Amino acid sequence: MILVAADIQNSGTVLAWKLMCAENPGLAAIEQGIRLVEANETDWSVGRGGYPNAQGEVELDAGVMDGRNRASGAVAGLHGYLHPVSVAYEVMQRLPHVLLVGAGAAQFAEEVGAEKADLLTDTMRENLIKWQKSVGLNQPSTDLIGAVHRGMDPQHTGGTTVYLAQDSQGDIAVATSTSGWAWKYPGRVGDTPIAGAGFFADNRYGAAACTGRGEMAIRSGLARLTVALMQMGRTVEEAVSEALKDVFYLGDKRGEIHLYAIDTRGNHDVACIGPVRPAGNEHYYFVARDGDPEPGRQYPRHIDE
């Protein structure tokens, strides 16, 4: 068994690992873990309390994949519901579809009885007002395009919760959830709900998931590429390195990406590209393996161009 998680406040890994140790299926366990992250309103990149778009609406993205047959469900631009990861899981289980967006995703969430929530917290409303002022959006203006460019901060305004697991049965699964890029253009969708870009799992080879600039992960098909490299015989470290090096081709020096991967033999690797983070702002993640009482903190490798 192994659990690897990007969960900045470590809100849900202890529960997910406990459920896995009690021999629950990995996908159900990581869904439960991510629900705790989504409900933690002091985590600014996911669920309630997450970053809103440039006009103040919190639009949530999430995805799941079951490595037994690569069944997948996802939602994008979901507004007004607390647990996008569970809505994504329901899409996988109840619909002949993979991805629902916007109003249709909300309609489905309502139909399956998902929990509603006011997602914009007072703290985030204050941050939004500050941001809108800093980019001139407090003036009567329709220049959202300019504002979104002016407001990009690659190291302080993103974050995705990603959980990868191989459970006691040897089954592999992945789940993701995010409020996406802070102050994004309304309707912008990142990699988090895109199977193959932000997440991918296949029992035969392993799983991968991404955090960071989603546009780069989409343009690279990054999670799929990583698992495909393992399929072609690379170790998990080789696959992560090679997949991230491919992202350099995009030429975006500002973008930061973290790539998480596990293989079928209990190995994992996490590496990142992009500007080196200043001391005190280093990225970290959590890992638990057979015998561990609970997940412990680890740091990713940095890969230079």
Write out the residues near ligand ASP by the rule CB under 6 A.
Answer: 158-160, 178, 180-181, 190-192, 211-214
- Of 203 and 211, CB closest to ligand ASP: 211
Q: Which residue lies nearer to ligand ASP by CB, 13 or 178?
A: 178
Taking the complex as a whole, how short is the minimal distance between the CB of residue 111 and ligand ASP, in angstroms? 26
User: Which residue's CB is nearer to ligand ASP, number 199 or number 205?
Assistant: 199
Residue type, 237: E
Length reported for the chain: 305
- If one counts every other C-beta atom within 10 angstroms of the C-beta of residue 16, the result is 30
Distance of closest approach, residue 159 Cβ to ligand ASP, in angstroms: 5
DSSP state of 100: E
Q: Under DSSP, is residue 207 helix (H, G, I), strand (E, B) or coil? A: strand
What is residue 289's three-state secondary structure? strand
Positive or negative, the CA dihedral 219, 225, 226, 229 is: negative
Residue 156 or 291: the one with the smaller Cβ distance to ligand ASP is 156
Rounded least distance, CB 90 to ligand ASP, Å:
21
Q: Is 226 a catalytic residue?
A: no
Q: Which is nearer to ligand ASP, 156 or 233 (CB)?
A: 156
User: 50 near 124, Cβ under 8 Å?
Assistant: yes
User: Nearest 5°: CA angle at 263, between 260 and 269?
Assistant: 35
Which residue of the set 42, 123, 157, 160 is catalytic? 160
Cα dihedral 236, 64, 294, 167 in deg (nearest 10) = -70
Contact yes or no for 243/220 (Cβ under 8 A): yes
> Is residue 140 packed enough to be buried (19+ CB in 10 Å), middle (13-18) or exposed (0-12)?
exposed
* Catalytic center residues: 160
